[in-house]
Structure 1
Amino acid sequence: MVEPNRTLLDVLREDLGLTGVKHGCDDSNCGVCTVIMDGKAVKSCSVLIGQAEGTKVTTIEGLEGENGLHPLQQAFIDHFAIQCGFCTPGMILSAKALLDENPHATEEDIREAMHGNMCRCTGYKKIIEAIEAARDEMNAQA
Structure 2
Amino acid sequence: MNKFLLVSLLSCFSFNVLSEDWSLEKDIIDATEGYGLAQIYINKKSCLDDVILGLLVFKDVDVLSINNQNVRVQYFGRNNEGLPFYRASSSKGRLFIKNEFTQKLDVKVQVPGKSDLFTFSAKGYLEAKKEKVRTCIQNRNVLESAL
Structure (1 or 2) with the greater strand fraction? 2
Structure (1 or 2) with the greater helix fraction? 1
Q: Tell me, yes or no, whether TM beats 0.5.
A: no
The two structures have a TM-score, normalised by structure 2, of 0.24
The two structures have a TM-score, normalised by structure 1, of 0.25
